[in-house]
Amino acid sequence: MTQSFSWTRRLALFFQRLWQPTCACMTCMPGSWTSIASLVHWTIAFRTGIFTGLLAVLLTFSPAARLYQNRYGNALVMGCLTALGDAYSHPSHYRIPALEHLATGVVSGLLALAASFLFEDRGRRVRLMWHRVTG
């Protein structure tokens, strides 16, 4: 049985899945930290994020959409989709051809996992930490 996704939920999923691969791509691309303001790097990173977001939305039409319900399944899906999106967006800059794409996928999966812990229940953990810091 396929999980039901509304179009507003798919749109939210697209934007959630846009930032994780974009940040992962910017992190794993060689020279990213020294060229953080580079339009070329941001263009490649956004292309990876957009393609991964589109793949994530397309997955909602399949039975694999059930993986979004589990934080670890979601992180695994995001890691795999980001690696595919990164490979589609640009050739590897590393000496070993697939290493950059795999590293980007791993970082994106870890970001998805961290976000699931931080932002669950409308950011309960973030709000609690903020309350402790500000008193």
Closest-CA residue to 90 (of 28, 133, 18, 132): 28
- What is the domain extent for residue 21? 7-134
The first and second tokens of residue 48, run together, are 């990876």
Asked if residue 26 is part of any domain, the answer here is: yes
Average pLDDT, integer, range 73-95: 90
Whole-prediction pTM: 0.80
CA distance linking residue 110 with residue 116, whole number of Å: 10
Would you say how long the chain is, in residues?
135
Task: Quote the number of domains for the chain.
Answer: 1
- Distance between the two ends of the chain, CA-based, in angstroms? 47
Tens digits of residue pLDDT in 42-80: 898 899 999 999 999 999 999 989 998 899 999 999 999
Q: Is the pLDDT confidence value at 3 over 70?
A: no
Instruction: Give pLDDT, residue 16.
Output: 83
Asked if residue 108 is part of any domain, the answer here is: yes
Asked if residue 117 is part of any domain, the answer here is: yes
Asked if residue 1 is part of any domain, the answer here is: no
Listed in sequence order, the residues at least 6 apart from 19 whose beta carbon sits closer than 8 Å to its beta carbon are 49
CA distance linking residue 6 with residue 111, whole number of Å: 25
Asked if residue 2 is part of any domain, the answer here is: no
